[in-house]
Amino acid sequence: MPLLGRDVVLVDAVRSPFGRARPDGLYAHTRADDIAVAVIRELLRRNPALVPDRIGDLALAATTQQGDQGLTLGRTVGLLAGLPRTVPGYAIDRMCAGAMTAVTNVAAQIAIGAIDAAVAGGVEHMGRHPLGASADINPRFVAERLVSTDALVMGATAENLHDRYPRLTRPRADAYAAASQRKYARALAEGHIDADLVPVGVPDPERGWGLATADEPPRPGTTVAGMEGLATPFRAGGRVTAASSSPLTDGATAALLMDAATAADLQLEPRLRLVSYAYTGVEPEVMGVGPVPATHRALELAGLTMEDIGLIEINEAFAVQVLAFLDAFEIADDDPRVNPYGGAIAVGHPLAASGVRLMSQLSRQFATHPEVRYGITTMCVGLGQGGTVVWENPHHASPRSADRRNTDD
């Protein structure tokens, strides 16, 4: 059963270029909240038909909510971005699914008629705020064996997936990772990436101001042969390497959502229509399987099966996590439906920001594939969760909005 209430559409989404989280990275001298301000200002500039007063809420996610990523980001960034003081805002944390949760939270508000339009997204400056920095993990988790110590190290959970499913071999993971780099390079060359990138002014104490205009993490020359000698930092003799993992990344994303009637009134063309969504929990020690039950649940709510899904945007936290999802649904490693523009292994994964990047890429693919009616965005979440959103292609000849099933049928 699709989301009850009014039709909810995503009309636009933008992101900053993603930078490597290191002392000489793109955003080494840039505040996290300033990156978020840049993307939200650009989102509003691109949609002048929307009077800012009509924005009913601003939900902004960050995983490590401290310093320049703290203090109720949705509210503070909204004020810094020039939104009217009447527009409220709040912060969200669901680790990697932060921006995804921000989107589905405001979508629910729109669906029930509480608001007509909202901005949702996320930011992560992992160079300043590494995952878990200053976190005080309750010792009961380990002392009472509520979780294994592996559950607190994402790379260790990836190694556990290799252990649990022998078919998920290192050669398969390396081949998938190299393919992600190739697909991103091809998409960039074909003009599919730059359309939603927001140039961000970046200061440098030695060179003055510059402009971040391109993603920093991709390594287009990556080959399987080149990966063979890489270290396995999460386990001696393991299978997970830096090349088959998403790099530590800085960046921000933002999306504009509203009900379909408001979009029509403003003559804004929807890029995605929300059908259903689901979040589920799994064993924290193998958090990478989270997208599997979340996708089953989201498809069930939509009245669909995987055979109905023509495009899949799955976050590539680790190659093995994607392979676990593909095997669960009997999808080939090189299925053209999966991450046609490459994924986080190439472009990076600024944790709480990544959910909207998936949506942006899916919407670009929908525009060039009107024959595809449904797609999903899905991701694993630290400490054992998964999230999936089912979307309909507004460019399809027979949009579901014409025959919505809003009752148990």
Among candidate residues 125, 296, 380, 395, the one labeled active-site is: 380
For residue 336, pLDDT beyond 90: yes
Which percentage of the chain shows pLDDT scores above 90? 89
For residue 173, pLDDT beyond 60: yes
Nearest-angstrom CA–CA distance, 348 and 328: 25
Is residue 238 left, alpha or beta, with left meaning phi > 0 and alpha meaning psi from -120 to 50?
beta
Q: Are 250 and 27 in contact (CB under 8 A)?
A: yes
Among candidate residues 96, 162, 296, 395, the one labeled active-site is: 96
DSSP symbol at 308 = G
**Within a domain: 403:** no
Residue 289's domain comprises 8-127+148-391
Report the domain count for the chain: 1
Say what the pLDDT of residue 288 is: 96
For residue 406, pLDDT beyond 50: no
**Within a domain: 343:** yes
**Within a domain: 366:** yes
- φ, ψ at 257 (rounded to 5°): -120, 150
Mean pLDDT in residue range 166-175: 97
**Within a domain: 44:** yes
Q: Spell out the long-range contacts of 148-154 with Cβ–Cβ below 8 A and sequence spacing 24 or more.
A: 148/284, 148/285, 150/285, 151/284, 151/285, 151/287, 151/383, 151/384, 152/383, 153/234, 154/287, 154/317, 154/318, 154/382
**3-state helix vs strand vs coil in the chain, percent to 5:** 40, 20, 40
**Within a domain: 137:** no
Mean pLDDT in residue range 344-348: 98
Say what the pLDDT of residue 249 is: 98
For residue 79, pLDDT beyond 80: yes
pLDDT band for 137, please (50, 70, 90 cuts).
confident
Amino acid at site 96:
C
349 among known catalytic residues: yes
**Within a domain: 135:** no
**Within a domain: 132:** no
pLDDT (tens digit, 9 = 90+) per residue, 92-134? 999 999 999 999 999 999 999 999 999 999 999 999 999 888 8
pTM above 0.85, yes or no: yes
**Within a domain: 317:** yes
Task: Report the CATH number that the domain containing residue 200 is assigned in CATH.
Answer: 3.40.47.10
96 among known catalytic residues: yes
Among candidate residues 129, 349, 369, 396, the one labeled active-site is: 349
369 among known catalytic residues: no
Nearest-angstrom CA–CA distance, 275 and 300: 11
